[in-house]
Amino acid sequence: MKKNIAIIGAGISGLTLGQKLKEHAHVTIFEKARGVGGRMSTRYADPFYFDHGAPYFTARTHEFQSFLQPYIEDGLVAEWHGKVINLELGKKATKRLWFEPHWVATPNMNSVCKQLGQGLDVRLSCEVAPLTRKQSDFWELQDKQGTPLGAYDWVISTAPLAQTQTLFHTETPLHGAPMHGCYSLMIGFNRPWNKQWIAAKVRNNPIEWIIINSTKPQRNKDVTSILVHSSNHWADEHSDCDMQEAQKMLVEQFMALTAIDSAGADYLSTHRWKYAVIEDRKGDMCFYLDARHGIAATSDWASGSRIEEVWLSANRLAERILAI
Ligand SMILES: Cc1cc2nc3c(=O)[nH]c(=O)nc-3n(C[C@H](O)[C@H](O)[C@H](O)COP(=O)(O)OP(=O)(O)OC[C@H]3O[C@@H](n4cnc5c(N)ncnc54)[C@H](O)[C@@H]3O)c2cc1C
């Protein structure tokens, strides 16, 4: 008889696990957000679109390249080309070399996750509450309001480390790489982008990256959608900062760096990622698994910060569960 598996999170990890396990088990994916994607999400503010989590990804292993190949052939994933620069206040901009292809999903970063979600039972806007002790042989899940979500043989979390620790609090000695925050400032102009560069790596500044989202393939080029990522260090130092205040500080830095007058922007908004990326991963763990209790977990804190590493680790975990 097929097992019931609950997966918490519909980012790339949860959806990859779902696709791998769905032929062998009854899989249900719970996602607290209104859409799939997690940190590969896109902010829609028509006519502006911002991939406000991961702006791009790289593919270094044959396994991930093979996974991407059909998507590349279908145009769902495309290479993002163009001039990239280094920026520093008071210094002349210099050209920055990218030594490997930088890939994006099209028309938005969440498109790959939307595709992976096809054929899966994904319950959106459903936040799973911390697990209570296993009843007989099952985990009886419920949402934050106490509504029952069913009984499961296995529960797999793909939430960030701190959230996974809360979900599994009674059962697991979980540890992983510490996670850091990031502010994403989104700026839109109702005019095409008129500079030569597509992205800027910023040095010695609260801002780490400036990404011209509208220069990516299959984006609306009649408008300019700019994404500004703060440094993780600055975000952690300003984690309790009022959002408007953080936005004001980042806008000032952005204007000083680029001389683009954001006061005249047609769209301006800021998102704070409490758990954006990991600093550095130590050790060999790429997922957590407790077969006796039927719980498992994976995400960047267990594997590595890049989308490719997260995807590889979700595959390894699915294989282990299938073997069990
Ligand atoms: C600002 C930023 C920049 C980045 N830059 C890059 C980059 O350049 N290149 C790169 O490769 N990677 C980058 N990353 C990292 C990459 O985005 C992540 O490693 C990857 O997307 C993680 O995927 P995941 O599925 O493991 O986790 P997530 O995408 O975080 O998915 C976990 C999901 O679980 C859901 N969830 C949590 N708790 C619950 C609950 N109790 N109930 C229901 N749902 C729950 C969340 O809403 C979320 O959707 C970046 C990330 C950020 C935020």
Task: Name the residue at shortest CA distance from atom 51 of ligand 1.
Answer: 54
pLDDT of residue 236: 96
Distance from the CA of 12 to the center of ligand 1, in angstroms?
8
Residue 309: CB atoms within 10 A of its CB come to 19
Q: Any idea how long the chain is?
A: 324
Distance from the CA of 199 to the center of ligand 1, in angstroms?
22
pLDDT of residue 151: 94
Place of tokens 């698994």: 289
pLDDT of residue 13: 98
Task: Name the residue at shortest CA distance from atom 3 of ligand 1.
Answer: 54
pLDDT averaged over 10-residue windows placed end to end, the chain, 324 residues = 95 98 97 98 96 98 98 98 96 94 98 98 98 81 96 96 86 73 98 96 98 98 98 96 96 96 93 90 78 93 92 96 95
pLDDT of residue 283: 62
Question: Which residue type, as a one-letter code, is found at position 298?
Answer: T
Measured CA angle at 210 (ends 192, 252), to 5 deg:
95
Residue 214 is given by DSSP the state G
Distance from the CA of 151 to the center of ligand 1, in angstroms?
26
List, in order of start, the domains of the chain with CATH numbers.
1-36+117-178+289-324 (3.50.50.60), 43-109+180-276 (3.90.660.10)
Reported pTM: 0.96
pLDDT of residue 176: 73
Q: Tell me how far CA of residue 118 lies from CA of 28, 45, 124, 154, in angstroms.
A: 13, 25, 14, 22
Distance CA 239, CA 231 (A): 12
CB under 6 Å to ligand 1: residues?
A: 8-14, 30-33, 38-40, 53-57, 127-128, 158-160, 163, 167, 182, 184, 229, 273, 276-277, 299-300, 305-307, 310
pLDDT of residue 281: 65
- Could you tell me if 160 and 179 are in contact, meaning their C-beta atoms sit under 8 angstroms apart? yes
Q: Is the dihedral of CA 191, 195, 200, 204 positive or negative?
A: negative
Mutation to probe ligand 1, out of 16, 20, 39 (largest number of atoms < 8 A from CB): 39
Distance from the CA of 113 to the center of ligand 1, in angstroms?
11
Distance CA 131, CA 141 (A): 7
Question: Which residue type, as a one-letter code, is found at position 131?
Answer: L
